[in-house]
């Protein structure tokens, strides 16, 4: 009887492992399909992000900057050059909400663009916001490594 229960337990564990492996395969397949979908719609996504960076609502602007950072991470080979100017505008605007400026600096740094790095350097020297100045200096040090 104990052997029978042991065999049943082993079969149950084996089935559970197989089911997990199949589920993991399905998730991987779903993620690949999801990535293809996003890549196909990248031009539309970029236009929406540009519009959001120009929106009058600071929450939309900060969300757009964070979404750009996420896209940079997900698609490191994409240049995202159309996003450079709107991000620069957000970072340079001394009247911009602090969180938007911080996220814009981080997004610009993620673009690995000489123009963005130059503006980050200029902001580190000219901004009156000490926290933003320190972040820009740290981004420049990181870029030099």
CA dist., res. 2 & res. 4, Å (int): 5
The residues spanned by each domain of the chain are: 1-40, 42-144
Alpha helices in the chain (DSSP H): 2-40, 42-53, 58-74, 84-92, 98-111, 114-126, 130-144
Main-chain phi, psi angles of 115, to 5 degrees: -65, -45
pLDDT digits (tens, 9 = 90+) for 14-63: 444 444 444 444 444 445 456 665 678 889 999 999 999 999 999 999 99
Query: Does position 9 have pLDDT exceeding 70, yes or no?
Result: no
Q: Which CATH number fits domain 42-144: 3.30.70, 2.20.25, 1.10.3470, 1.25.40?
A: 1.25.40
8-state DSSP, 96: S
pLDDT digits (tens, 9 = 90+) for 61-103: 999 999 999 999 888 888 899 999 999 999 999 999 999 999 9
Separation of CA 6 from chain center: 49
């Amino acid at each position: 009887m104990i052997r029978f229960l042991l065999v049943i337990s082993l079969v149950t564990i084996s089935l559970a492992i197989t089911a997990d492996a199949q589920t993991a395969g399905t998730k991987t397949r779903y993620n690949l399909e999801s990535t293809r979908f996003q890549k196909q719609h990248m031009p539309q996504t970029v236009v929406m992000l540009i519009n959001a960076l120009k929106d009058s609502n600071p929450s939309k602007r900060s969300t757009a900057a964070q979404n750009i950072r996420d896209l940079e991470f997900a698609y490191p080979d994409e240049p995202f050059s159309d996003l450079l100017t709107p991000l620069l505008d957000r970072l340079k605007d001394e009247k911009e909400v602090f969180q938007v400026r911080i996220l814009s600096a981080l997004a610009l740094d993620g673009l690995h663009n000489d123009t963005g790095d130059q503006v980050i350097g200029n902001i580190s020297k000219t901004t009156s916001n000490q926290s933003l100045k320190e972040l820009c200096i740290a981004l420049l040090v990181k870029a030099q490594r």
